[in-house]
Amino acid sequence: MDGYIIATVIKAILILAVISALAGFGTYIERKILAFMQRRLGPMHVGPYGILQIAADGIKLFTKEDFIPSGANKIIFMVAPIITAATAFIALAAVPLLPEFTLFGVTIRPIVSDMNIGLLFVIAMMGVGLYGPLLAGMAQENKWGIIGSARTAIQFLSYEVVTGLSLLAPIMMVGSLSLIDFNEYQAGGISNWIIWTQPVAFVLFIISGFAETNRTPFDLLENEAEVISGYATEYSGMRWGMFFIGEYANMITIGFLASLIFLGGFNPLWIIPGGLAIILKVAFFFFLMLWVRAAWPHVRPDQLMWLCWKVLMPLAVVNILITGIVMMV
């Protein structure tokens, strides 16, 4: 039992360290990819190809003055960024990041906790993440913040519905909420991937994933052109950095979820070992988010709501119905 606790703590710390480092690296990758797509160079001067820009940004964020505006509700203002960052990492607890491997004769399962409600737990934690932006916007005495948190509420709440409904159909097929079961269900190679049997669910999940991670076609929460910085208007320094890390950790989580549920997870792919396969898949989803950001304009809040309630949700329900009928017959 002691060994189990120690192993879990080590895993949790490792995941926290690796994913937050990856989130920092993600900002660099995002700036580079966006720059290349606009035929710019991106960060170039700090270190080779600007790779130490992450360190420079980190030093800047850490050494900035910790600032709480006088009109803000102090406690909520301080707690809100922690909620965003914490829930983003807690959601990763039920996600198997890599296949099992053996290190020094010990078999290690790279998942903090393989609970039987894994997927539900991840979705719930990402749903709780909504409280971060919501409270942050309402804690400050600032109209942009209020508008930002109102947008958070409408966007996250409605797209939670689409995420849940779109995942119901794969859950019905697999018959389990554990992501490891999802992975084993697709163990037979590319033809067994759930994306071939549930293409609509995959598209719906990707769309709502973009909305939940607050990425570009749906980045209404902190859209500079409309609401300055939305819920993060009065944040600076490390508190703002926590929102950022939370957002990038959420992007990585969505990438893991999409590749585990629909794209065969960490099963070996031809000659590619499983661990590398899932990293490639997650990297593809991360790249897709940046690619979409470079290519597409974002939608208006009313278009966002229209898309969610009048198009995506009926599609998700119909998809569940058809899946159910096919499974019954």
- Regarding 70 and contact with other proteins (CB under 8 A), the answer is no
> Which residues fall within 8 angstroms of residue 34, CB to CB, at 6 or more apart?
42, 290, 293, 294
Among 1, 3, 4, 38, binds other proteins (CB under 8 A): 38
Residues in the chain: 329
Q: Which of 167, 139, 11, 166 lies closest to 77, judged by CA? A: 139
Q: Which is nearer to other proteins, 40 or 60 (CB)?
A: 40
- Regarding 302 and contact with other proteins (CB under 8 A), the answer is no
Q: Which is nearer to other proteins, 85 or 304 (CB)?
A: 304
Among 23, 29, 33, 261, binds other proteins (CB under 8 A): 33
Q: Which is nearer to other proteins, 105 or 297 (CB)?
A: 297
> Which residues fall within 8 angstroms of residue 141, CB to CB, at 6 or more apart?
69, 71, 72
String of DSSP letters for 265-296 = TTS-BTTB-HHHHHHHHHHHHHHHHHHHHHH-
- Regarding 75 and contact with other proteins (CB under 8 A), the answer is no
Q: Which is nearer to other proteins, 112 or 307 (CB)?
A: 307
Q: Which stretch binds other proteins (CB under 8 A): 35-43, 49-57, 91-99, 316-324?
A: 35-43
* Residues 193-252 contacting other proteins, CB under 8 A: none
* Dist. CA 172–CA 165, nearest whole Å: 11
User: What are the phi and psi torsion angles at 272 (to 5°)?
Assistant: -80, 125
Q: How many residues bind other proteins (CB under 8 A)?
A: 13
Q: Which is nearer to other proteins, 36 or 62 (CB)?
A: 36
Q: Which is nearer to other proteins, 44 or 269 (CB)?
A: 44
* Residues 104-143 contacting other proteins, CB under 8 A: none
Q: Which of 269, 265, 294, 298 lies closest to 282, judged by CA? A: 265
Report which DSSP code applies to 300: P
Among 98, 173, 279, 294, binds other proteins (CB under 8 A): 294
User: What are the phi and psi torsion angles at 255 (to 5°)?
Assistant: -60, -45
- Regarding 37 and contact with other proteins (CB under 8 A), the answer is yes
Q: Which is nearer to other proteins, 40 or 300 (CB)?
A: 40
Among 25, 101, 196, 296, binds other proteins (CB under 8 A): 296
Among 3, 4, 5, 39, binds other proteins (CB under 8 A): 39
- Regarding 295 and contact with other proteins (CB under 8 A), the answer is yes
Shortest spacing between CB 40 and other proteins, in angstroms: 5
- Chain centre to alpha carbon of residue 314: 24
CB 148 within 8 A of CB 231: yes
Shortest spacing between CB 259 and other proteins, in angstroms: 19
Q: Which stretch binds other proteins (CB under 8 A): 36-44, 100-108, 131-139, 171-179?
A: 36-44
207-245: b (≥16 Cβ within 10 Å) or e: bbbbbbbbbbbbbbbbbeeebbbbbbbbbeebbbbbbbb
- Regarding 36 and contact with other proteins (CB under 8 A), the answer is yes
Structure tokens at 99: 């296949």
CB 108 within 8 A of CB 101: yes
Shortest spacing between CB 291 and other proteins, in angstroms: 6
DSSP H or E segment with residue 53: helix 53-63
Structure tokens at 230: 């939305």
Q: Which is nearer to other proteins, 41 or 326 (CB)?
A: 41
- Regarding 291 and contact with other proteins (CB under 8 A), the answer is yes
Shortest spacing between CB 273 and other proteins, in angstroms: 28
Binding site for other proteins (CB under 8 A): 33, 36-41, 44, 291-292, 294-296
